[in-house]
Structure 1
């Protein structure tokens, strides 16, 4: 820096610096005097406006309540968002992987027309049809016929009854006969 400019700035600093503090103290004293004079008026005004301030504070808190509730569930939003992204990415990876495998191995299924599907449907229904027997008690079917036609043996008599063994004797065994009863007694 130029030597004359440097000495000029130094002189200005030492002249302006005390003036700055003099002006600052004058303004500070005026503000303090004004506050001392206006303090009773401020307290009265604050006392009168207190209900409006409290209602405004309540309305502000009430307006902030939905945002606060949403913020409480932030971790759930993050968890569900990450889980959905992982699910979408995994689904896309699986889709494209299996699409590539199907095209490479030539496993693509030919699309069937609705006419071929409808022509095969009556044959399939005829092959699957079984004699229809109502599993409910009916007066025209004896109980033995219902028991023999019932594959789950829902209406079959048990082998052992409270009166003793069943009069039908030994019947064919099914999975329902194989169930084990749990013990009710415990040492606890």
Structure 2
């Protein structure tokens, strides 16, 4: 380095930096008891703030611990969607190539047809089981007026089978 530059830097050091540095060191020496006193008085609040901060940051800490898991599951999901798409398009191509689409006109009974048949069957059953009225309007067979309970019903037993 040039001697003139070294002399200039030394002069700047002793005229600007050293007095400011000494002033700050003296100020720190004078204010250090105040700083330590305030730190001692505010210690419970600082401790409480640390606890609140840890509670607030806890979900993010857990997310950071589970980072590997959700990256793994995300990649697995992307691969699964891609593989499913490839399978879908390949099978649809094979189906259309070999003309495997079955367009049978065999359909099951619709709900409306089922309900109509059920109403018709119930009407026929109720007509067949209707009591015959004779005389003064009293039913001929009184067993239709009795409530049917569990004791009247037949208990079906299963056949014993050897395994």
Which whole-Å CA distance do the structure 2 matches of 1:111 and 1:158 have between them? 42
Measure how far apart 1:33 and its partner are: 0.8
Moved over 6 A (4+): none
1:75 equivalent in structure 2: 68
Match of 1:49 among 38, 42, 47: 42
Q: Does residue 117 of the first structure (1) align with residue 111 of the second (2)?
A: no
Match of 2:160 among 157, 162, 173: 157
Structure with bigger RCO (C-alpha 8 Å, 6+ apart): 1
Q: 1:81 to 1:111 in 2, by over 3 A?
A: farther
Which whole-Å CA distance do the structure 2 matches of 1:71 and 1:95 have between them? 36
Match of 1:13 among 5, 29, 35: 5
**Cα deviations by residue, 1:116-149 (Å, 9 ceiling, x for unpaired):** 52579x9xxxxxxxxxxxxxx946x7x6xxxxxx
Give the TM-score normalised by structure 1: 0.55
Give the TM-score normalised by structure 2: 0.62
2:58 equivalent in structure 1: 65
Measure how far apart 1:111 and its partner are: 6.8
How many residues align structurally? 121
Which whole-Å CA distance do the structure 2 matches of 1:92 and 1:64 have between them? 40
Where do 5+ consecutive residues of structure 2 fail to align? 114-152
Measure how far apart 1:53 and its partner are: 1.2
Where do 5+ consecutive residues of structure 1 fail to align? 1-9, 123-136, 144-154, 160-176, 178-188
Which whole-Å CA distance do the structure 1 matches of 2:37 and 2:69 have between them? 49
Which whole-Å CA distance do the structure 2 matches of 1:32 and 1:87 have between them? 65
Which whole-Å CA distance do the structure 2 matches of 1:72 and 1:44 have between them? 39
Which whole-Å CA distance do the structure 1 matches of 2:75 and 2:51 have between them? 36
Alignment of 1:164-179 (within 5 A): 177=163
1:150 equivalent in structure 2: none
1:169 equivalent in structure 2: none
